[in-house]
Structure formats: C-alpha cells, structure tokens
Structure 1
Amino acid sequence: MKKLTQVAAACLLAAASTAHAADPNLGRNLAATCANCHGTNGKAVPGAGMDSLAGESKAKLLQKLADFKSGDKPASIMHQISKGYSDEQLALIAEYFAAQK
C-alpha cells in the first residue's frame, strides 16, 4: 500500500508540472501579481519610486529575484513575496517582463 501511495504522489507531481508547462499564459498570470507595485505589465508609474520591470533582461530580473529570495538584497516585502514562488515560476515571471516593451 505504501508503494502505491508513493506512485500516486509521483504521478500527481508529474501531472502538476505538465499543467504548468502547458499553460501559455502562466508567466503573464503570475506576473499580474506584481502590478500593484510595479504597474500593469511591469510599467511603473513615473515618479512613484518603484522600478519598472518591463523590458529588463531576463538574467537581470532573475538575479534580483534570487537576491531577494536569499535575503542578499534588502527589501521591505520583496524577500517575502519571492519566497512564495518556485524558481521555475520566477523564471516565467522574469521571461514575461523581459518580453514587455
């Protein structure tokens, strides 16, 4: 019975990761949570004191997110928010913002 439970859990994990990969809008949907601070599609309001994310390189965005997640970059809330995402989700978010103009 224990073996069956382990196989079922593995199948569920595989199905969940396939579902993420199959959704072409997942990066956009995840990035939408950033709009409250960084503006719609990562275009911050000028003079609001927030960084615009639109058009930044994916590598630069990923590095910033990794620094927030690890605590290397101080923040008021980004270190908490970034910990709520997997590395794969952060990569999708960074890819989405890098594609915005």
Structure 2
Amino acid sequence: MRAFAIALAGLATSAPAQEAPSGALSCTGCHALGAEAAMPLGGRSAEEIAAALAAYREGTREATVMDRIARGFTAEESQAIAQWLADHAAKE
C-alpha cells in the first residue's frame, strides 16, 4: 500500500498545471496514459472514456472491477475525470 501511495505521489508531481479531478490520478494506477501500455487510456477521447465509465456504472459492459469503481462516481465526476485523462494523455 505504501508503494502505491508513493507511486501516486510521483504521478501527482508530474501532472499538468490543470488540477486533476478527484479520482483521476487513481486511474493511472492501472491504466497508463501512453498508447503503448497494456491497458492504455492514451489516445482515447474524453467521450470514449466517459462512455466506458457509464457502461461500467450501468452494468452493460463486462468488467472485473471497473463496474464497482465506476459506480463510485457520478456522471458529472466521470465526465470530468474522462476530460482530464484525455487532456493529460494528449500531452504525454
């Protein structure tokens, strides 16, 4: 757990000037922002990310843990997270 907190702290210091919405940096614990990663978010639009979060939240997209994670955010929070991730990944 301590290693995860240290990793998140490192991500926070390399974040762009725009402050990340609550929850956005935790996504990068599993999903890299670069397009070459195993579970990439890089290269995806905010609309794609928000739609995926909505589908997980509604239970219409198969998931192992993302359905539970997505239910923790409102549609507005999901949109803000998606926009931040898409903007951040574009700068990677």
Q: TM-score range by the shorter chain?
A: 0.5 to 0.7
Aligned residue among 15, 23, 29 for 1:36: 29
8 A contact 2:35–2:43 mirrored in 1: no
* TM-score, normalisation: structure 2: 0.67
The alignment partner of 1:94 has SS state of: helix
Task: Please identify runs of 4+ aligned residues in structure 1 that moved more than 2 A.
Answer: 42-46
Q: Is residue 25 from structure 1 mapped to residue 19 from structure 2 by the alignment? A: yes
* TM-score, normalisation: structure 1: 0.62
Displacement of 1:55 in angstroms is: 3.0
Displacement of 1:90 in angstroms is: 0.5
CA RMSD across the alignment: 1.9
8 A contact 1:65–1:82 mirrored in 2: yes
Gaps of 5+ in 1: 1-23
Larger radius of gyration: 1
Give the structure with the larger helix fraction: 1
